[in-house]
Amino acid sequence: MNRLASILVFAFCLAVFSCKPKPTPPTPPASVNLMTVAARPVVYYDKYPSTTVAVSQVSLTAQVTGYITSIDFTEGSHVHKGQLLYRLDMRLYEAAVDQARATLRVDSGNLRLVQQDYDRYQYLAKYKAIATQLVDHASIQLQNAKDSVVAAQQQLKTALTNLSYANIYAPFDGTIGISQVRIGNLVTPGTTVLNTISTDNPMGVDFLVNEAQLPHFEELQAGKGKSIDSLFTILLPDGQLYPHPGKILFIDRAVDPQTGAIDIRLAFPNPDGILRPGMSTVVRVHNQDPAPQIVVPSRAVVEQMGEYFVFIAKDTVLQTKGDSAGRKGADPAQTPELRAFQKKVQLGQTVGPNVIVKSGIDVGDRIVLDGVQAIHENSRINAGPAKEGPAKK
């Protein structure tokens, strides 16, 4: 009986040990292409979203009440300073001018009459042939008559001014928009907007920069930077390069405390009228840094949660022979092995298929160029033809 039990125990142990899973073979090294990092001079442009704006823009409003009787321009056309744009009904204002002139004539005639009486009383007063009271009264009447003439003259000026306001002229050269009123509409001073006119040459372009970049743009405004004809250029909404370069018109007076940004306005010649207010453009600022910079292909960069990484290839020494338990007699032989390590980088401007790396890697580092989708931190790699795997999520 004891012998049977021993046989059963031995069979059970043999079955348990025979079912132990075999060790998983190690993952073979991934084949990747490597590139040695180098620095070189780079010509590129810093780009900023921007909007075209008129350097000067005004809303036209009437200064007197009246009905529109004439519109003397083509909507959307270029107008010149002093060009007649609108006419209001002038009959009331012409009548006011006639009335003011008539009042001035009456007051002027009364002044001559009072002046004659005053001169006559002065003559009689020399010979004491008239009461002093009459002379005093004549002096006061003369002064009142003079004041009446001055008041009539001012009334005539006011009437003439109101009459001139019945015609509305362009305040400067520019482009006029679509009329907000039509013939027969009644306009009210200061409230009814007739139209909008804006300058079109030059045209302003506004964009925002971070406050940390402000000293650089102040130097450019002062002309301390390297002289470049195309320092400021813009890309039109269709992606075409605008043919005329611009210059800094002004930098805003203050930084927005909420965003840390400040507004800069450029001025661009617009002889052909290509630029119009409100267009979405891209400002390009020519790079003036002559120092060599690290440039790597964009495909070597991996994005994770808004941060950017590259894989650096390094030779590591790993124990490949001997007893891992460290017992006596273990072979201490070791061999180098190529592995990939992730390095966080700060990117600069994109230049074609490449991107500038501001920090994170150094000249001479070997980075993984192709095959980044098939590796991870501390992956074993082989410098050979890369086989791209599925993109990482």
Interval 65-124: pLDDT, tens: 999 999 999 999 999 999 999 999 999 999 999 999 999 999 999 999 999 989 998 888
For Cα atoms 305, 307, 311, give the angle at the middle one, nearest 5 degrees. Answer: 110
Please give the radius of gyration of the chain, using alpha carbons only, rounded to the nearest integer: 45
Torsion of CA 186, 191, 193, 196, to 10 degrees: 150
Ramachandran angles phi, psi of 215, nearest 5°:
-55, -35
CATH code where residue 379 lies: 2.40.420.20
For Cα atoms 197, 203, 204, give the angle at the middle one, nearest 5 degrees. Answer: 105
In a domain, 220, yes or no: yes
What is d(CA 160, CA 168) in angstroms, rounded to the nearest whole number?
Answer: 14
Per cent of the chain over pLDDT 90 is 49
Worst-scoring range by mean pLDDT, 46-50, 180-184, 290-294? 290-294
- pLDDT higher than threshold 70 for residue 224: no
- pLDDT higher than threshold 80 for residue 13: no
Residues 249 and 310 in one domain: no
What is d(CA 155, CA 38) in angstroms, rounded to the nearest whole number?
Answer: 83
Q: What is the mean pLDDT of residues 231-246?
A: 93
Q: What is the mean pLDDT of residues 278-282?
A: 94
Q: What is the pLDDT of residue 254?
A: 93
Give the pLDDT band of residue 328 (cuts 50, 70, 90): very low
Interval 125-164: pLDDT, tens: 888 888 888 888 989 999 999 999 999 999 999 999 999 9
Q: Which two tokens stand for residue 357?
A: 């790396």
Residue 291 DSSP label = S
Residues 280 and 295 in one domain: no
- pLDDT higher than threshold 50 for residue 391: no
- pLDDT higher than threshold 60 for residue 325: no
In a domain, 73, yes or no: no
Residues 246 and 275 in one domain: yes
Q: What is the pLDDT of residue 138?
A: 87
In a domain, 111, yes or no: yes
Q: What is the mean pLDDT of residues 276-283?
A: 94
Q: What is the pLDDT of residue 335?
A: 63
Last residue of a domain, one of 253, 268, 286: 286
Interval 333-374: pLDDT, tens: 556 788 888 889 888 878 878 888 888 888 888 888 887 887
Q: What is the pLDDT of residue 330?
A: 44
Residues 320 and 333 in one domain: yes
Residues 234 and 155 in one domain: no
Q: What is the pLDDT of residue 97?
A: 95
For residue 211, which of 178, 181, 256 has the smallest C-alpha distance? 256
Q: What is the DSSP string of 311-348?
A: EEEEEEEEE-SS-TT--TT----EEEEEEEEEEEEEEE
Residues 262 and 318 in one domain: no
Which position has the higher pLDDT, 263 or 389?
263
In a domain, 143, yes or no: yes
- Beta strands, E only, 5-75: 30-36, 39-40, 45-54, 57-61, 66-71
Give the pLDDT band of residue 324 (cuts 50, 70, 90): very low
Interval 180-190: pLDDT, tens: 999 999 999 98
Contact criterion met (CB below 8 Å) for 242 and 50: no
CATH code where residue 113 lies: 1.10.287.470
The domain tally of the chain equals 3
- pLDDT higher than threshold 70 for residue 385: no
Residues 322 and 361 in one domain: yes
Worst-scoring range by mean pLDDT, 88-92, 215-219, 316-320? 316-320
For residue 27, which of 374, 385, 391 has the smallest C-alpha distance? 374
- pLDDT higher than threshold 50 for residue 165: yes
For residue 157, which of 87, 104, 109, 111 has the smallest C-alpha distance? 104
Domain that holds residue 215: 46-55+200-286
Last residue of a domain, one of 165, 191, 208: 165
Residues 302 and 264 in one domain: no
Contact criterion met (CB below 8 Å) for 140 and 157: no
Contact criterion met (CB below 8 Å) for 141 and 116: no
What is d(CA 170, CA 179) in angstroms, rounded to the nearest whole number?
Answer: 13
Residues 272 and 352 in one domain: no
Residues 312 and 376 in one domain: yes
Report the relative pairing of strands 30-36 and 366-370 from DSSP bridges: antiparallel
- pLDDT higher than threshold 80 for residue 306: yes
Q: Which two tokens stand for residue 352?
A: 């074609």
Residues 206 and 282 in one domain: yes
Entry pTM: 0.64
In a domain, 107, yes or no: yes
What is d(CA 148, CA 108) in angstroms, rounded to the nearest whole number?
Answer: 8
CATH code where residue 222 lies: 2.40.30.170
In a domain, 359, yes or no: yes
- pLDDT higher than threshold 50 for residue 393: no
Give the pLDDT band of residue 245 (cuts 50, 70, 90): very high
Q: What is the pLDDT of residue 326?
A: 47
Q: What is the pLDDT of residue 49?
A: 95
**How many residues can be counted in the chain?**
393
Last residue of a domain, one of 286, 308, 332: 286
Q: What is the pLDDT of residue 323?
A: 47
Q: What is the pLDDT of residue 327?
A: 46
**Amino acid symbol at 89:** D
Which position has the higher pLDDT, 389 or 120?
120
What is d(CA 272, CA 354) in angstroms, rounded to the nearest whole number?
Answer: 36
Give the pLDDT band of residue 392 (cuts 50, 70, 90): very low
Residues 259 and 214 in one domain: yes
Q: Name the helix (H) or strand (E) containing 294.
A: strand 293-297
Q: What is the mean pLDDT of residues 152-179?
A: 94
Question: What 3-state class would DSSP assign to 98?
Answer: helix
What is d(CA 180, CA 60) in angstroms, rounded to the nearest whole number?
Answer: 10
Contact criterion met (CB below 8 Å) for 287 and 213: no
In a domain, 78, yes or no: no
Report the relative pairing of strands 379-383 and 30-36 from DSSP bridges: parallel
- pLDDT higher than threshold 90 for residue 42: no
Q: What is the pLDDT of residue 225?
A: 57
Give the pLDDT band of residue 29 (cuts 50, 70, 90): confident
